[in-house]
């Protein structure tokens, strides 16, 4: 899915969480959003998903202006923030069934895929457990399983590598994300882990005080940096120094 | 409509079971989870029975009472309790579902409405069954005829439908602001109007009412009967006793009205979602940054948070005059401890304000009792008592937030202080307990509220003397205080403190004991039984013993979750 952000502005009180953010993200890319706490990463993800309406600017998906009421477009994206979208008193299976119904993906031909994903994420023995009784990482896996089973065109992930996933879960997430990108899906995630961003992204967008400071491939960012080995580290250091 | 495809879920479950059975490792893990989960499921199921049990027990007791007394205020109290709890539970569930989860998923407001209904109808049906089943006892004792049974069944059915639809309507209409205060306000407001209505009815049945007043009152009462939920049970019972069908007709019209206005609610939801999307600050960055910097405690040279430094975690100190006066009673360390235990600060004055807000109506009604007829006193106090009961019932549900800490006062305060959380911080049990005790005593006015409820029940049982009622109030206050402290260890029991297979049975046995004791002691105290003094003494002694025993375990590090587990599990 082609994502185009045009002049997004969002303010919370006197703080500009998003300050004229314009980006174009082509299909088949894994994009990571980097930035200090409060830089606007989550706000940007929520704005793309329609949970937050921008004060100015807009989001175009595949060339169509996106509105929250556009259910067809909303069914083509999936926002995995944490386990808050799940139903704690219902079992893992019921949660998957409910979410897949919402995405119109609860078809018989999808069952094998769901089963395979559950097996990959170690969810099979937990299938009958209420989500509320699971650990944070396990609950996140349920959401991740729903995302993988729904196979949306646009993945929006908020701090997926700080959600309590175990190594197997992280590995599955990375593998599926790469495969999805190869199929033309667009994956946008936020993270604070520079090492992860350097290894698991086609493009890195650095947000600073609501503005896009840089958004390019890692190769380009590396070329620009004096420290070739740690371009992102260097960029963050400079941003902190300039802010100070 | 269902929120999911049962066929899809069933088929998936079959395949999951087959996969688990086919793999020894998965089978082992499944068995381990099931073993742990079994106790959890049993605890949840039995715990729910314990929670709702009193609801079923009261009608049975009333049914036993029926041969000796006609259905009267006590019956109405039960009806009100049911309706209040029912209403608040469904509403809270609706709000929780709507505001927290559904906006994340791709669904239109119309779809939300349908899914709301699918979600709530089960809960509504449960309450319908509870109300219908519980009052079977009343009907049996009252010798109802077949038409009376049918009329009652239809009334329950329609009441279920009405309340579920009304809750969906409210949830859709006020999604961002589903708060218990509104529920409380509705219940109290309705109760007050019901009281006025009853007094008007008394006036109407005077031997010589003014000629001009009679038609006004007659028309007014008819309208009030239609408008006030609290008046319906009374009307139902009165009607059903004669095998009449008017109650069903009364219910049918408002039910249809609510259903007819659901499209309006949907439009309101659309606007509300629009507003929420525009203005809902999911993560206000400035606030988050400010909070994180303010909450950073000083560290020692090794970079560890030392125990005394935890007090610097950015607590707000209440600045009101009354708060400052109250805080003089606390030592500096107790103040810091209280601020830490009840973030964002003790706010004792705020608790008092809430107490007086809620207790005020009850007290006013109590004072007004001197000026109403003896029969009216029953109704007034029982209405108050039933409303309190409805709130108390809601308070034990995780979804219900009707009772806040300040309102629950001494009964609920111990529940909000999580001892195990502090066990690793090097805080002595004695100072923690002393602080809690002072904090509880400061909120003693809340007991006036509970006392008034007890007095209401006393009046319902035929004890009409003011001093007697005051005595009940005092005794019930002490009883609540004792029970609140006594059950504290039970509230903090965690599965990792007790051997897991023994956890659920031990907690349930203890819970059964506490509940049984509560019921017996309450009855003894309320009825002014000669043994009530002993019950009270026993409750206070049990509280003292539980406090001591818990403290002993606490000081021995029994609740320190960082210590090696006993028995090696």
pLDDT tens string B258-276: 666 666 666 655 565 554 4
Bridge partners of A11? A16
pLDDT score recorded for residue B54 = 43
Query: If pLDDT is split at 50, 70 and 90, which confidence band does A164 have?
Result: confident
Quick check: A15 contacting B, CB < 8 Å?
A: yes
Name chain B contacts of A14, Cβ cutoff 8 Å: 286
pLDDT score recorded for residue A156 = 93
Which of A17, A127, A133 has its CB closest to that of B16?
Answer: A127
CB B240, CB B151: distance < 8 Å: yes
Bridge partners of A214? A206
pLDDT score recorded for residue B164 = 62
Q: Which residues are CB-neighbours of A214 under 8 A, at least 6 positions away? A: A204, A205, A206, A221, A224, A235
Q: For a pLDDT cut of 70, what percent of chain B falls above it?
A: 14
CA–CA distance, B560 with B6 (Å, rounded to integer)? 44
Phi–psi pair at A51, nearest 5 degrees: -75, -25
pLDDT surpassing 50 at residue A191: yes
Q: Shortest CA distance to B511 belongs to which of B534, B492, B535, B487?
A: B487
Q: Shortest CA distance to B386 belongs to which of B47, B161, B62?
A: B62
pLDDT score recorded for residue B277 = 47
Q: Which residue has the higher pLDDT, B42 or B431?
A: B431
| B33 to A129: CB separation less than 8 angstroms, yes or no | yes
Name chain A contacts of B32, Cβ cutoff 8 Å: 125
Name chain B contacts of A138, Cβ cutoff 8 Å: none
Residue range A29-39: mean pLDDT, rounded: 89
HSE at residue B66, side-chain half, CA atoms within 13 A, is 21
CA–CA distance, A219 with A206 (Å, rounded to integer)? 15
Q: Does the CA dihedral B82-B87-B90-B95 come out positive or negative?
A: negative
Name chain B contacts of A100, Cβ cutoff 8 Å: 4, 8
Residue range B335-362: mean pLDDT, rounded: 58
pLDDT surpassing 80 at residue B15: yes
Query: If pLDDT is split at 50, 70 and 90, which confidence band does B94 have?
Result: low
pLDDT surpassing 90 at residue B553: no
pLDDT score recorded for residue B166 = 65
Q: Which helix (H) or strand (E) holds B384?
A: helix B374-395
Q: Shortest CA distance to A124 belongs to which of B26, B301, B345, B380?
A: B26
Which of A51, A119, A128 has its CB closest to that of B277?
Answer: A51
| Least confident residue range of A71-80, B299-308, B383-392 | B299-308
Query: Of the ranges A226-240, B4-18, B338-352, which is most confident?
Result: B4-18
pLDDT surpassing 70 at residue B548: yes
Which of B277, B278, B286 has its CB closest to that of A15?
Answer: B286
Quick check: B19 contacting A, CB < 8 Å?
A: yes
Report strand pairing: A56-61 vs A3-12: antiparallel
pLDDT surpassing 80 at residue B344: no
Coil, strand or helix at B105: coil
| B40 to A133: CB separation less than 8 angstroms, yes or no | yes
CA–CA distance, A90 with B84 (Å, rounded to integer)? 26
A177 token code pair: 């994300």
Quick check: B21 contacting A, CB < 8 Å?
A: no
| A12 to B280: CB separation less than 8 angstroms, yes or no | no
| Least confident residue range of A40-49, B174-183, B505-514 | B174-183
pLDDT surpassing 90 at residue A171: yes
Q: Which of A18, A87, A89, A124 to mutate to test the interface with B (most CBs of B within 10 A)?
A: A124
| A97 to B280: CB separation less than 8 angstroms, yes or no | no
pLDDT digits (tens, 9 = 90+) for B22-65: 888 888 888 877 766 666 666 555 544 444 444 444 444 444 44
Give the gyration radius of chain B's Cα atoms: 26
Question: Rounded to a whole number, what is the distance in Å from the CA of A226 to chain B's nearest CA?
Answer: 31
Q: Does the CA dihedral B41-B42-B47-B48 come out positive or negative?
A: positive
Give the gyration radius of chain A's Cα atoms: 18
Angle of CA points B503, B509, B510, to nearest 5°: 90
Question: Rounded to a whole number, what is the distance in Å from the CA of A228 to chain B's nearest CA?
Answer: 31
Q: Which residues are CB-neighbours of A226 under 8 A, at least 6 positions away? A: A234
DSSP class of residue A163? S
pLDDT digits (tens, 9 = 90+) for B476-502: 666 666 666 665 555 554 444 455 555
pLDDT digits (tens, 9 = 90+) for A83-128: 667 877 778 998 899 888 888 888 888 899 999 999 999 999 999 8
CB B405, CB B346: distance < 8 Å: no
Q: How many residues in chain A? A: 244
Residue range B522-545: mean pLDDT, rounded: 68
Q: Measured in Å, how far apart are chain B's first and last C-alpha atoms?
A: 46
Q: For a pLDDT cut of 90, what percent of chain A falls above it?
A: 35
pLDDT score recorded for residue B172 = 57
Q: Which of B29, B98, B285 to mutate to test the interface with A (most CBs of A within 10 A)?
A: B285
| Least confident residue range of B118-127, B310-319, B390-399 | B390-399
B512 token code pair: 């059964």
| Least confident residue range of A206-220, B279-293, B315-329 | B279-293
Phi–psi pair at A3, nearest 5 degrees: -115, 125
- ipTM reported for the complex, 2 dp: 0.85
pLDDT surpassing 90 at residue A172: yes
pTM attached to this predicted model: 0.56
Query: If pLDDT is split at 50, 70 and 90, which confidence band does A241 have?
Result: confident
pLDDT surpassing 70 at residue B373: no
CB A43, CB A79: distance < 8 Å: no
């Amino acid at each position: 899915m082609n994502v185009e952000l045009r002049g997004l502005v969002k303010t919370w009180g006197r703080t500009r969480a998003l300050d004229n953010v314009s980006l174009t993200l082509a299909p088949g890319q894994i994009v990571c959003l980097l930035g200090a706490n409060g830089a606007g990463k989550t706000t940007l993800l929520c704005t793309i998903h329609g949970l937050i309406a921008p004060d100015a600017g807009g989001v175009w998906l595949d060339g169509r202006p996106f509105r929250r009421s556009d259910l067809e477009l909303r069914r083509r994206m999936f926002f995995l923030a944490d386990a808050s979208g799940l139903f704690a008193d219902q079992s893992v299976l019921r949660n998957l069934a409910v979410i897949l119904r919402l995405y119109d993906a609860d078809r018989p031909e999808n069952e094998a895929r769901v089963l395979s994903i559950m097996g990959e994420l170690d969810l099979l023995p937990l299938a009958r457990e209420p989500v509320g009784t699971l650990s944070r990482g396990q609950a996140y896996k349920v959401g991740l399983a729903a995302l993988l089973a729904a196979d949306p065109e646009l993945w929006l992930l908020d701090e997926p590598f700080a959600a309590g996933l175990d190594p197997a879960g992280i590995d599955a997430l990375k593998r599926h994300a790469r495969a999805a990108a190869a199929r033309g899906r667009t994956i946008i995630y936020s993270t604070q882990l520079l090492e992860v961003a350097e290894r698991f992204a086609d493009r890195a967008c650095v947000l600073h005080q609501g503005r896009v400071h840089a958004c390019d491939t890692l190769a380009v960012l590396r070329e620009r940096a004096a420290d070739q080995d740690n371009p992102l580290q260097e960029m963050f250091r400079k941003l902190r120094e300039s802010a100070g | 409509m269902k929120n999911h495809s049962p066929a899809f879920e069933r088929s998936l479950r079959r395949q999951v079971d087959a996969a688990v059975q086919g793999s020894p490792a998965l089978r082992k893990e499944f068995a381990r989870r099931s073993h742990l989960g079994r106790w959890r499921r049993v605890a949840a199921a039995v715990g729910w029975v314990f929670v709702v049990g009193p609801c079923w027990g009261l009608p049975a007791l009333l049914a036993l009472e029926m041969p000796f007394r006609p259905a009267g205020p006590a019956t109405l109290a039960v009806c009100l309790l049911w309706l209040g709890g029912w209403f608040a539970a469904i509403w809270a569930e609706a709000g929780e579902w709507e505001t927290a989860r559904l906006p994340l998923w791709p669904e239109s407001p119309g779809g939300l409405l349908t899914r709301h209904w699918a979600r709530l109808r089960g809960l509504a049906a449960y309450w319908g069954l509870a109300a219908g089943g519980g009052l079977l006892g009343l009907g049996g004792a009252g010798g109802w005829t077949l038409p009376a049974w049918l009329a009652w069944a239809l009334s329950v059915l329609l009441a279920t439908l009405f309340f579920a639809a009304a809750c969906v309507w409210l949830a859709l209409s006020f999604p961002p602001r589903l708060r218990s205060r509104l529920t409380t306000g509705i219940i109290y407001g309705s109760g007050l109007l019901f009281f006025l209505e009853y007094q008007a009815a008394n006036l109407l049945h005077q031997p010589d009412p003014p000629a001009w007043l009679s038609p006004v009152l007659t028309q007014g009462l008819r309208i009030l009967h239609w408008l006030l939920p609290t008046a319906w049970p009374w009307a139902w019972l009165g009607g059903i006793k004669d095998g009449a069908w008017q109650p069903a007709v009364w219910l049918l019209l408002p039910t249809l009205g609510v259903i007819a206005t659901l499209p309006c609610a949907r439009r309101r939801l659309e606007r509300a979602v629009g507003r929420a999307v525009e203005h809902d600050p999911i993560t206000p960055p400035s606030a988050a940054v400010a909070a994180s910097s303010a909450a950073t405690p000083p560290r020692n040279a090794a970079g560890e948070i030392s125990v005394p430094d935890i007090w610097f975690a950015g607590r707000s100190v209440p600045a009101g005059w009354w708060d400052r006066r109250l805080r003089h009673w606390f030592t500096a360390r107790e103040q810091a401890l209280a601020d830490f235990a009840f973030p964002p600060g003790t706010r004792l004055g705020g608790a008092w304000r809430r107490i007086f807000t809620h207790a005020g109506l009850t007290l006013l009604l109590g004072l007004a009792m001197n000026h109403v007829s003896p029969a009216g006193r029953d109704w007034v106090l029982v209405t108050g008592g039933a409303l309190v009961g409805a709130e108390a019932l809601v308070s034990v549900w995780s979804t219900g937030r009707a009772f806040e800490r300040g309102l629950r006062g001494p009964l609920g305060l111990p529940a909000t202080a999580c001892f195990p959380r502090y066990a690793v911080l090097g805080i002595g049990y004695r100072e923690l307990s002393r602080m809690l005790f002072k904090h509880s005593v400061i909120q003693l006015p809340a007991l006036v509220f509970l006392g008034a409820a007890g007095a209401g029940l006393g009046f319902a049982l035929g004890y009409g003397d003011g001093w007697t009622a005051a005595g009940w109030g005092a005794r019930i206050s002490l009883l609540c205080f004792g029970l609140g402290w006594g059950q504290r260890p039970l509230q903090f029991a965690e599965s990792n403190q007790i051997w897991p297979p023994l956890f659920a049975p031990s907690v349930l046995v203890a819970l059964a004991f506490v509940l049984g004791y509560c019921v017996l002691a309450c009855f003894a105290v309320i009825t002014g039984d000669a043994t009530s003094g002993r019950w009270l003494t026993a409750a206070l002694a049990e509280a003292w013993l539980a406090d001591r025993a818990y403290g002993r375990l606490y000081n021995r590090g029994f609740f320190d979750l960082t210590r090696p587990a006993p028995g090696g599990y």
